[in-house]
A and B are shown apart, each in its own frame.
Chain A
């Protein structure tokens, strides 16, 4: 699409991983990093809202009363591990090992599903004891911040599943490599956001 030839401008072609080997690949990956910057601002606004409203409990349940260490530890371990297995999948892709790539991708997906499942059961539990998002500003902010992250992970699961089917159908080529790499960046990003949720929401909530 542009003047730069398909062979790339960064000197030796063989030095570039497959996902960076085409111009489309390089453009899409840069574009996705910039998208993540916008997503980061989005989460920053939600964090700011949460921090402002975190003590506006209106006599309702506080974080200290609600959060259970075991639940969010399981979620954290599942998600952090999935980031690692996602990396193993990309590592296998770089070694052109399709079956190993597919395998680690499936493991990553399953860990993501465990995370979302635990989060949903956590939310259902809170709602069952009357801690709904309609109860107080604190709970509105809590469900929205954590829920937005959960929606991102759910979307990521569908997205990764779509790419998994493409890798199985078409093998590892410049298109599937690019798509797998980008969904990998997305997955790591969600992991980093979770680290902040873990710290700002759960740890701070349990301690205060």
Chain B
């Protein structure tokens, strides 16, 4: 009995009122979900329509929901940290808890918020923009989503079972060596990211093939919308960067589980090798999340300025240049680690060169707006706010890339302020703009403008109030990851102001939640499919939400911004339904295997976290059984009959004619 108690007290995280509150909240929310689903008899619906789906639009929506939930979790971590740092010598969080929170904040925001968010917009917009029926590999797409989902679940589980990782989101050895960090927290970190990382690589492959091979006839690469270009460039970066992370994490896991000596301090290990491998992925990762945001800005700016985007060819070129140079700069993350002047100079110059194509893009967006009839919708507001924010962040980036200055700025709050400036100003603003922009396409209604404007201003003002003091704090000597400071350091007032800004951003997020809930009922419905009235690309040519086969007839593309020119010529896709003969549409069947396979990955990961090898290997066997069954499956697709297409099109008012069995 006492051994059971001993086990339970180590297995479950104990000792903090906040953890117990979280336990209660988790149990209550889970019970609430189970009760609601049972009460409304929605279990079957959930399984058939969502869990087993291979439809890119539904997968996109599931990514979005998860990303917003993770945004909430990561944001709560940020608020806890800012609360602890608001005043000197606070005892709100103890040092261990503070370490865990900054670790989970960084990891979640990059890997479990930004990544699913970009994959969400990939899935929602790309096949529709290029006139495709689905992505190239719909089944693999579902596998990717569920691997991400279970990876994220595994990571979040560490909060209440076993203990969270506490060595920073970069998890450098030797700090993460087994001897210095024995708990299961680091194992959670390594396994959760590995599992979701497999899904990310698969998504990268999927979208490269989709974009290269599944464009509508007539859409040459230079007629392709810029968002799809940005997805192509980001996907290229994904497939070449993520394997390095896989290796870095796997080798560190071997060190921890099997006693190897890759990164240990003894037996010839080299911790620096981990740092190199990690940033070989880590720096490109920054561009993986920002390139799709660049694509969103290009779409939004053109749409709401009612102009063709300025300098299309230079936009494409700069996307591709960024996608290459970003591999050549990774060592600027550790200028102070003694690589020598030659190496540092090379990486400094490479880092600064990236500012050139990025600058080209900024000017192109400005020139697109110049003399345009700008409409200040929510996506446009976030896009306009992005430009100064990112320009400031980029400039401080050049300051950090200057090696002698970096010796001073490294690991200070100056650096914290810089990367939040570019990651929030670049990626988060872009993803929120994209969410607003494509929301009607996903759900068939717009989000309330007034509430959105409140959220916008709270978030914007909060952002500058939060991070600008941190630049100054950096110069005053405040380093990152300190859990408290004394009053005579002179940092009190700036820290207090910064915390107020953080809370304003949190309030802004709440406004977005309220906005979503309010708009489900009262949001302006989209009946035409072209919700904003200014759509330029093909996704606006079909109804909202799109039918599950997307296009009843595949459009022939003649121009860049095809839909805009269709409107100018007075054409529409609905006319194709009158003139063209319908053909049965080839579609992939739903499958439970992606979910099951990822569940086995989760079980396996959980086993390895606690070094319960039987469970770990049993899970892996489950994974292989699923793969084997899929390989033997002969019935993975079907045809939608013509009558069903006619019926669906008729329900959107796009087909008037004989429908059998109506």
- Is the beta-carbon distance between B217 and A3 smaller than 8 angstroms? yes
Rounded to whole angstroms, the CA-CA distance of A13 and B651 in the bound complex is: 38
- Is the beta-carbon distance between A133 and B260 smaller than 8 angstroms? yes
State the main secondary structure of chain A at its contact with B: helix
Rounded to whole angstroms, the CA-CA distance of A34 and B203 in the bound complex is: 12
Rounded to whole angstroms, the CA-CA distance of A4 and B210 in the bound complex is: 12
Interface hits, A60-97 → B, CB 8 Å: none
Residues of B within 8 A of A (CB): 131-134, 136-138, 201, 204-206, 208-209, 212-214, 216-217, 239-240, 242-244, 246-248, 251, 254-255, 258-262, 264, 266-270, 273, 277, 280, 551, 554, 586-588, 624, 628, 631-632, 634, 637
- Is the beta-carbon distance between B132 and A3 smaller than 8 angstroms? yes
- Is the beta-carbon distance between A137 and B268 smaller than 8 angstroms? yes
Contact bitstring A117-146, B, C-beta under 8 A = 1, else 0: 000000000000000011111101101100
Q: A27-B209, A56-B270, A58-B267 are in contact. List 13 more A-B contacts (CB 8 A).
A: A27-B213, A30-B212, A38-B204, A38-B242, A42-B243, A45-B244, A45-B247, A49-B277, A52-B273, A53-B273, A137-B262, A141-B262, A158-B628
Contacts of A175 in B (CB 8 A): 634
**CB closest residue in chain A, given B630:** A162
* Contact flag A34-B634 (CB < 8 Å), given A27-B136, A45-B243: no
- Is the beta-carbon distance between A136 and B268 smaller than 8 angstroms? yes
* Contact flag A134-B260 (CB < 8 Å), given A1-B587, A49-B277: yes
- Is the beta-carbon distance between A166 and B632 smaller than 8 angstroms? yes
Q: Which of A1, A39, A136 meets B267, CB within 8 Å? A: A136
- Is the beta-carbon distance between A42 and B247 smaller than 8 angstroms? yes
Contacts of B214 in A (CB 8 A): 1-4, 27
Q: Which of A144, A162, A179 meets B251, CB within 8 Å? A: A144
Contacts of A34 in B (CB 8 A): 205, 208-209, 239
A and B contact pairs by CB, cutoff 8 A, 27 listed: A3-B133, A3-B216, A3-B217, A27-B137, A27-B209, A27-B214, A28-B137, A30-B209, A31-B205, A34-B209, A34-B239, A38-B240, A41-B239, A41-B243, A48-B277, A49-B273, A56-B268, A57-B268, A134-B259, A134-B261, A134-B267, A137-B267, A137-B270, A144-B260, A158-B628, A162-B631, A166-B632
Contacts of B132 in A (CB 8 A): 1-3
- Is the beta-carbon distance between A140 and B261 smaller than 8 angstroms? yes
Contacts of A6 in B (CB 8 A): 586
Rounded to whole angstroms, the CA-CA distance of A58 and B201 in the bound complex is: 36
**CB closest residue in chain A, given B201:** A38
- Is the beta-carbon distance between A53 and B280 smaller than 8 angstroms? no
Contacts of B213 in A (CB 8 A): 2, 26-27, 30
Contacts of B554 in A (CB 8 A): 2-3
A37 within 8 A of B: yes
**CB closest residue in chain A, given B263:** A137
Contacts of B258 in A (CB 8 A): 133-134
A46 within 8 A of B: yes
Rounded to whole angstroms, the CA-CA distance of A144 and B209 in the bound complex is: 31
